Amino acid sequence: METDNDILAEYVEESREHLIHIEEIFEILQKTGEISLSSINELFRAIHTIKGSAGFLGLTSIGTLTHAMESLLDSLREGRLSVTQPISDTLMEGTDRLSEMFEDVNKSNTVNVSELVTTLKALNSGDTPAAVPAAAPAPQAPPEPVEQRSVADVLSQFPELAAFVPQEPAAEPPPVAPAPPAPAPKPVAEKPAAKAPAQAKAEAPAQTNSQDNKDSSKHEEFLRIKVDLLDRLMMLAGELVLVRNQQLMHLEQADATLRSITQSLDSVTTELQETIMRTRMQPIGTVFSRFSRMVRDLSRKLNKKIDFETKGDEVELDKNVLEAIGDPLTHLVRNACDHGVEKPEDRLAAGKSEAGMVTLCAYHESGQIHVDIKDNGKGMNRDVIRRKVLEKGLKTEDELARMSEQDLLNLVFLPGFSTAAVLTDVSGRGVGMDVVKTGVEKFGGSVSLTSIEGEGSVVKLRLPLTLAIIPSLIVQSGNERFAIPQVNLEELVCLYDKDAFTRIECAGAREVFRLRDTLLPMVRLREALAREKMFDEDALSEVTEQNSEARQEMAEKYKEAEEGGHTIHYSLNFAVLRSGNLRFGLIIDRIHGSEEIVVKPMHRAVKGIPLYSGATVLGDGKVAMILDATGLARHYNVRDVGGGKDGKKQKAKTEEGTELRSLLLFSNGGSEQFGVSMQDVKRVEAIETAAIERVGSQEYITLDGISTRVVRLEDGLRVQGSSQPENMFFLIPQNARKPYGLLVEKLIDSGHYEVKLNKESYQAEGVEGTALIKKKMTVLVNLEQLMHLVDGMWYGGQA
């Protein structure tokens, strides 16, 4: 195709916008079952505009199809035909086909549209005899050639197209006459004049005009802006914030006038930054909208009745994130329709309404966007999952027996779980769930699943607002600070005093640390930075030797000091990082805390260095490198030291009826010991009790700028109240719909414990049961239930 690429690109862009508009109209049609004349007019105009430029650009397939659609719409518009199911379906199919063709517009001419065109023609002629003379014989091929000739731009096409022209020149002349690339309204106004019976004619132009005005005003509200320009703006705004911060620091000595000026500068800067951030945001509705069609098609294909609803269409997400979630969402919605919602007869038999319901719901929460995919279908059958997992050999019967209900559900995320066989056998879900999980996790999101058998399932996606800004931990080694993306970070470990030199052990040439039940290979960031060559065994043993000497020295000094009656304080920090299936401890000099960073790619000249995944500007304006866990592990030659996992398994098998659970143990002042599942806890903050504020009967604390509701154990359970010491701990749960946390007085320990759950001894809502842990009776708290209890509305369960 010899077409000007710029014009073509613009045309494609424009046409896509038209198609989106068309789909919106169809959506209304689907919902309400009727369509207004003005909507038909809009459809007609949109299709006509696409057609016009298609001819001019030599896109014959698109031209032919749009022409057929246009003719049919014309008949509808003039009342010769009324909108029936087959007509709307075919038009929608046509729209879909157009969308496909616009995906790769250069190949669009190879797409065969003749069948669809025939159907369209048949529909146009079939129902009303009146339409036959005017529209039905209208041949579909000619408009392009004619238009092409009138524009006379695509010369190379001419001979071949000319062959078409003589065949049916009579059919089209009047409508084609207006300049094709011109905006739609004009031809619309003329066409009825040429063809339509008097009755319709009077009405159509009037409406067209009012629509025109609306259209043009709509266009003025948008402006296409290059993304680089926005990026640059964002960067400058960030810099402005730094300058402002510097000024704020010097404000101490300033006089009152300057202070107030600075304060307004401060607020303007903040607002400016937020506004610029928002320019990249788009409403999630743009992604949601495509699913209503999909659900409709699926329901017909599956012979089910499914209603579809979206909530929170206006919630805004970064463009990149929006693009990335399309596929996972498609997967999940399809799953919900296919495996979640039952057939009508089954639903009736189960005492439910005939039509199932699939809901997509987006909302903001604690700096993230949550998207719930909910259905009121049959839910997931734990037994089926159990059977499947056994069949696939993913887990042993023993392991399954020890799993909690939730753990069982989570098995559907196992990679091996989703296979073709599962798809046909299992009456639950789990098809390609691992794909969804990896897809979502790749850009820093997470997935969780809840399901009640017979009532339905909810898949919750948690997504970052933007990909450009990632939460990270800032650490220091030597004089330099580095950022570690939170995604790679599992936990932080600090060893104090004696532990600092006794707990790190040598295994062969490597240093390892016994973290609970696993052996963790250690990486010293300082050494990794100092040595440019990839670590081989020699280098490793050299490092290990040096450090074990250093440790010995420390031990001696410590002992000396102890004998002398005073103590030396040592501390050793490391971060447990995960890269793929590999975990390792990264020893660093200092931990600074977490910061949201903007990732900048590495410069071309230093891109090849495996240690870094990018660079960023920190809050104080200094550049910090972003560490790449995978590259670091490779550079340090980290291998799985093994031993750990097996040991765990053996241990898990020792006693019947027990379950190995990862728990966080704490006390609330009194002598009672409590535990919560580690996986329910997002993080733990050390707080000062003085910072807790009271509002009415509720207590709040501000964490990271978010007011977080404080829940006390004694609010929901009959246990001893806390004595309110100065410093307490705050457990922030996973999966909370609103920010809240559990206030506890003292953390005792965390780790994997064998739990033999006793449900009889202490029964209360919010409590799972009791167990003997570390030779002490421990009350296992169910965070979710506890929050339900304290404030039912707060928790985003399966309501």
Partner 1 sequence: MNEDEEASLNSTMQMCTFRMSSRLFGVNILDVKEVNENTNVTPIYHAPPDICGYINIRGQILLVVNLRETFGFDQRHKTEAVGGKVVVFKSGVDEPFGILVDEVCDVVSVEQNRIVDRRAGDPNTSDAVRELRRAKDGIVVGVCPLDRELLLVLNARHILGRQSVKSLESK
Of the listed pieces 501-509, 560-568, 573-581, 622-630, which binds partner 1 according to CB under 8 A?
622-630
Residues in contact with 62: Cβ distance below 8 Å, sequence separation at least 6, in sequence order: 50, 51, 54, 98, 101, 102, 105, 108
Closest CA to 527 of 641, 602, 632: 632
CB of 622 to partner 1, least distance (A): 5
**Residue 281 or 529 having the CB closest to partner 1:** 529
**Residue 111 or 599 having the CB closest to partner 1:** 599
Chain position carrying tokens 């004696």: 498
Closest CA to 483 of 561, 335, 591: 591
Interface pick for partner 1 out of 229, 561, 623, 706 (rule CB under 8 A) = 623
**Residue 300 or 622 having the CB closest to partner 1:** 622
**Residue 616 or 673 having the CB closest to partner 1:** 616
**Residue 295 or 625 having the CB closest to partner 1:** 625
Q: Measured between alpha carbons, how far is 336 from 358 in angstroms, rounded to an integer?
A: 7
Of the listed pieces 115-123, 289-297, 311-319, 616-624, which binds partner 1 according to CB under 8 A?
616-624
Q: What is the DSSP string of 650-717?
A: HHHTSSTT-EEEEEEEEE-SSS-EEEEEGGGEEEEEEEEGGG-EEETTEEEEEETTEEEEEEEHHHHS
| Tokens describing residue 293 | 């069609």
**Residue 622 or 683 having the CB closest to partner 1:** 622
Residues comprising the chain, all counted: 799
Which 738-777 positions form the footprint of partner 1 (CB under 8 A)? none
**Residue 197 or 619 having the CB closest to partner 1:** 619
CB of 195 to partner 1, least distance (A): 57
**Residue 261 or 606 having the CB closest to partner 1:** 606
**Residue 635 or 737 having the CB closest to partner 1:** 635
CB of 234 to partner 1, least distance (A): 9
Which 384-423 positions form the footprint of partner 1 (CB under 8 A)? none
CB of 578 to partner 1, least distance (A): 23
Interface pick for partner 1 out of 28, 132, 236, 302 (rule CB under 8 A) = 236
Residue 277 touching partner 1 (CB under 8 A): no
Which 293-312 positions form the footprint of partner 1 (CB under 8 A)? none
**Residue 550 or 623 having the CB closest to partner 1:** 623
Q: Measured between alpha carbons, how far is 370 from 359 in angstroms, rounded to an integer?
A: 13
CB of 603 to partner 1, least distance (A): 4
Q: Measured between alpha carbons, how far is 478 from 482 in angstroms, rounded to an integer?
A: 10
**Residue 624 or 713 having the CB closest to partner 1:** 624
The DSSP H or E segment spanning 754 is: strand 746-755
Q: Measured between alpha carbons, how far is 466 from 281 in angstroms, rounded to an integer?
A: 8
CB of 238 to partner 1, least distance (A): 5
Which 513-542 positions form the footprint of partner 1 (CB under 8 A)? 529-530, 532
Size of the site for partner 1 (CB under 8 A): 26
CB of 470 to partner 1, least distance (A): 16
Residues in contact with 51: Cβ distance below 8 Å, sequence separation at least 6, in sequence order: 62, 63, 66, 67, 70, 143, 180
**Residue 604 or 718 having the CB closest to partner 1:** 604
Cβ atoms of 431 and 410 within 8 Å: the answer is no
Interface pick for partner 1 out of 621, 647, 670, 792 (rule CB under 8 A) = 621
Cβ atoms of 372 and 359 within 8 Å: the answer is yes
Interface pick for partner 1 out of 4, 10, 14, 239 (rule CB under 8 A) = 239
The β-bridge relationship of strands 706-712 and 740-744 is parallel
Which string of x and - marks every residue 574-613 that binds partner 1 (by CB under 8 A)?
--------------------------x--xxxx-xx-xx-
CB of 615 to partner 1, least distance (A): 5
CB of 785 to partner 1, least distance (A): 47
**Residue 68 or 277 having the CB closest to partner 1:** 277
CB of 482 to partner 1, least distance (A): 10
Q: What is the DSSP string of 333-364?
A: HHHIIIIISPPHHHHHHTTS-SSEEEEEEEEE
| Tokens describing residue 174 | 């009047």
Q: Measured between alpha carbons, how far is 368 from 224 in angstroms, rounded to an integer?
A: 27
Residues in contact with 27: Cβ distance below 8 Å, sequence separation at least 6, in sequence order: 289, 292, 293
Q: How far is CA 9 from the centre of its chain?
A: 29
Cβ atoms of 665 and 673 within 8 Å: the answer is yes
| Tokens describing residue 461 | 């996606």
**Residue 624 or 780 having the CB closest to partner 1:** 624
**Residue 243 or 799 having the CB closest to partner 1:** 243
Cβ atoms of 325 and 333 within 8 Å: the answer is no
Residue 622 touching partner 1 (CB under 8 A): yes
Cβ atoms of 613 and 628 within 8 Å: the answer is yes
CB of 625 to partner 1, least distance (A): 7
Residue 615 touching partner 1 (CB under 8 A): yes
CB of 483 to partner 1, least distance (A): 11
Kindly list the strands in the beta sheet with 368-375, ordered across the sheet, starting from the edge strand earlier in the chain. 306-311, 356-365, 368-375, 456-464, 446-452
Which string of x and - marks every residue 216-235 that binds partner 1 (by CB under 8 A)?
-------------------x
Interface pick for partner 1 out of 1, 390, 555, 617 (rule CB under 8 A) = 617
Q: Measured between alpha carbons, how far is 295 from 305 in angstroms, rounded to an integer?
A: 10
Query: Helices 5-32 & 85-103, crossing angle to 10 degrees?
Result: 150
CB of 90 to partner 1, least distance (A): 52
Cβ atoms of 532 and 609 within 8 Å: the answer is no
Chain position carrying tokens 């319709």: 200
Which string of x and - marks every residue 479-508 that binds partner 1 (by CB under 8 A)?
-x----------------------------
Contacting positions for partner 1 (CB under 8 A): 235-236, 238-239, 242, 480, 529-530, 532, 600, 603-606, 608-609, 611-612, 615-617, 621-625
